[in-house]
Amino acid sequence: MRIGINCHTLYHPMTGVQKSLAGLVNALAKDYGDKHTICAYIPWKFSKDILHCDIEYIKSWAKSGNRTMRIIWEQFRLHAKVFDDKIDVLHCPSYVMPLWCLKPTVVTVHDVIALKFPTLCKKTNRAHFKRLIPESVKRSKLVVVPSNAVKRDLLDCVTGVPSDKVRVVPWGISENYRNPISDEKKQEVILKYGLPPKFVLHVGRMEPKKNVMQLIEAFFAATAVKKLPHRLVLAGPNGWGIKNLDKIITELGLKEKVYQIGFVAEEDMPALYSLASVLCFPSITEGFGLPLLEAMNCGTPVVSSNIKSIKEVTAEIGLFSEVGNLPSLRENLETILTDEELSNSLSEKGKQHAKNFTWRRHTESMMKIYEEAMTVSS
């Protein structure tokens, strides 16, 4: 079977959706590359360090990271390319598919934020996804989502789609997070990013849905009341929609307590998680919440919002608060930073839970979906 995968959204810096795509392709190549041909449709000037596998790479003229060129190529060229390249099944893993594609196509919808919470998306993404996600879901043979919460939301937002057409396939965790982390590696990461001795960690692109402003306020209140020595480390690239972050940090007198370290190299992430006292993830909405599982796998307890997808993915192993409930978030931070017994208990439970999420399990499900998509009638 020749499996075509649209990899045009793979470029640095990578966030959760992109990491899930890289994990899928690498695992497919490792576990099924000897029996099937994996064809990755990649943009011009693609960084091959993202995919560590020997597969068939098919380049387009769309420039890496150029959204307009990518959309034009996807909608007006990809459907013809899959015929030229004799693809048996096409996987479009980033929300949308070419609307005129006649080859069996599987679409992955990681979340429905653009449909359910449009103000938390950039205007350009909002307009693009509002039309193309529903059309892609209806025209595809099968749809993949990472959680039952996303499935429910998708079926609510896109009417007329049979429930059994939407398959829940959770993401996996990279093997890099399962290897022991040496003291030398931890020290290297401390020096590289200038990390403090004790800190609360947040991982993710800086954008409105991450609720970073409230995290900063809760951290300020928790550490001030309990006179805790911890600092707050914000790890992730700049996004959009957060204009006054530095101003708020300064007004709260937290200039010396909040570390904005920006994008962190993937090879450094396991050590960063391991060094943190807690991962705080108070998102307004998420489709999956990969940083939570990565942190749990590294033995770091989590404090998070109690939205359905996160409670599902974490099996409620952690401390959770309602979105927007600042006192509850502050109290949870205080508790996890002062109750060593609870912290250790959540750490051990989290590590055991995270073992359930592997890319091998993910690709086993995806291979069955690819095979089924070839037999589904229109």
Query: How many of the other CB atoms lie within 10 Å of CB of 23?
Result: 20
| CATH number at 2-172+358-373 | 3.40.50.2000
Per-residue pLDDT of 99-155, as tens digits, reads 999 999 999 999 999 999 999 988 888 889 999 999 999 999 999 999 999 999 999
Q: Give 176's strand partners.
A: none
Within 8 A by CB and 6+ apart from 325, the residues are none
Helix, strand, coil percentages, rounded to 5, for the chain: 45, 15, 35
Stronger pLDDT, 175 or 143, i.e. the higher one: 143
Identify the three-state secondary structure at position 239: coil
Type of residue at 49? D
Do the domains spanning 2-172+358-373 and 176-354 agree at the CATH topology level?
A: yes
Beta strands 199-203 and 278-281, pairing class: parallel
Q: How far apart are CA 330 and CA 345, in angstroms?
A: 20
Give CA–CA dist 166/143, Å, rounded. Answer: 5
CA–CA separation, 315 and 357 (whole Å) = 12
Mean pLDDT across the chain, nearest whole number?
94
Q: What is the pLDDT of residues 273-321, one digit of tens each?
A: 999 999 999 999 999 999 999 999 999 999 999 999 999 999 999 999 9
Domain ranges of the chain: 2-172+358-373, 176-354
Taking 70 as the threshold, does the pLDDT of residue 370 lie above it?
yes
The arrangement of secondary structure in 176-354, i.e. its CATH architecture, is 3-Layer(aba) Sandwich (3.40)
H helix or E strand, kind and range, residue 370: helix 359-373
Q: What are phi and psi of 20, to 5 degrees?
A: -65, -35
Q: Residue length, the chain?
A: 378
